[in-house]
Structure 1
């Protein structure tokens, strides 16, 4: 029996992934360089310390750049893009239906420094989440399962009693490794990634109702999270 829902944030509730990509792509363009979507797609949903935005740019233009200046400009542009974004389709109806049904709700995000929580408050949906687990709360972020493990433990449910909602490959791997069901809803950045391990893949959360999801993952039908 499903007792909880665990949501990713970036690219799933708010399409920050596409906003970050577009802002960074535009910035690179001013330097006469390219920022391929394939590069960013592989970074989505995790924190890859081996990738450095300034170093990647320097390799393309063949001279060093001012890292602090680049990051400050990127942050400024990202904020401008994200201000235009709205909650993605289907998210609010699922949250409201879950609340009315008495399901527990958590957020598990690889972002830190209260990034997601700040946006949830700005969007007016923070109250839906009983638990928020972010990068600062674990040693390793997605694709490591720690965020999801901690989320279900905090909610007081078993992994197989929860459905994770993800948009990235790293998030999918983390959710499945933790033992949760996982519904993947790719965005513009992540749509080309491989999601064969997902229990279900949708174009939008607006395609499905909570009742349909609960029925699909009901243990009464002998359903178990795929490995």
Structure 2
């Protein structure tokens, strides 16, 4: 029996993936690191410090540390989210269905807590989530399941009694590894890929979510 709903954030609640892409392209270009927009798409759902460390190892740069570069990228994303406030379609519908079903609701994101708090405040949905979890300081980010397991533990709910909402494949793997029921809403550009077959429910937007999707 499902008792809790755990939501990812970037790309699911907020249309921030383009902001992450733009911020990476801008900051890495200034550092002389050669990446493409497709490179940023390929790393969707991966923690930003892991991405930065990868490019520092493979291409390197002089000057700012990896931590400094992460903060530069994060500052740009927070700025754009605060200006644009790009809530994804169906967010309020999905949250309302989960609340009406009596689920406890939490958030589990690869993003730093600073961005989580800023985003929920910008979208005016912070009161919907009784707990928030970030993979920022964990040894491994998604696709490792730790952030989802932490959320379930914090809620006092067995992971097998949780339903996880995701948009990225890395996040989907994390939720499935945590043995949670999964709903995936992939970006339309990659929605037809066969990899999503491992999810329990696949939607085009959260507006399509039904009561049956939550439990059956």
In the comparison of the two structures, how many residue pairs are matched?
Answer: 211
TM-score by length of 2: 0.80
Cα distance change of structure 1 residues 4 and 54 upon mapping to structure 2, 3 Å threshold: closer
Match of 1:141, SS state, is: coil
Given the alignment of the two structures, is residue 95 of structure 1 paired with residue 92 of structure 2, yes or no? no
Please list the CA deviations of residues 2-28 of structure 1 after superposition, one character each: whole Å capped at 9, or x if unmatched.
221110011111121122113433566
Computing the radius of gyration over CA atoms, which structure comes out larger, 1 or 2? 1
**2: CA distance, partners of 1:98 / 1:49:** 32
**1: CA distance, partners of 2:29 / 2:203:** 32
> Once the 2 structures are TM-superposed, how far is the Cα of residue 177 of structure 1 from its aligned partner?
0.5
Partner residue, 1:12: 12
Partner residue, 2:114: 114
- Contact residue 166 and residue 185 of structure 1 kept, 8 A: yes
Please list the CA deviations of residues 123-174 of structure 1 after superposition, one character each: whole Å capped at 9, or x if unmatched.
2211111121112564322111111111112222222221101111111111
**2: CA distance, partners of 1:199 / 1:96:** 20
TM-score by length of 1: 0.76
Match of 1:107, SS state, is: strand
RMSD: 3.2
Please list the CA deviations of residues 164-217 of structure 1 after superposition, one character each: whole Å capped at 9, or x if unmatched.
0111111111100000011111126765763231112212111223x1313xx3
Partner residue, 2:202: 201
Unaligned runs of 5+ in 2: none
**1: CA distance, partners of 2:40 / 2:213:** 30
Cα distance change of structure 1 residues 162 and 31 upon mapping to structure 2, 3 Å threshold: closer
Unaligned runs of 5+ in 1: 219-227
**1: CA distance, partners of 2:170 / 2:54:** 23
Partner residue, 1:155: 155
- The answer to which structure has the higher helix fraction is 2
- Contact residue 21 and residue 37 of structure 2 kept, 8 A: yes
**1: CA distance, partners of 2:122 / 2:50:** 32
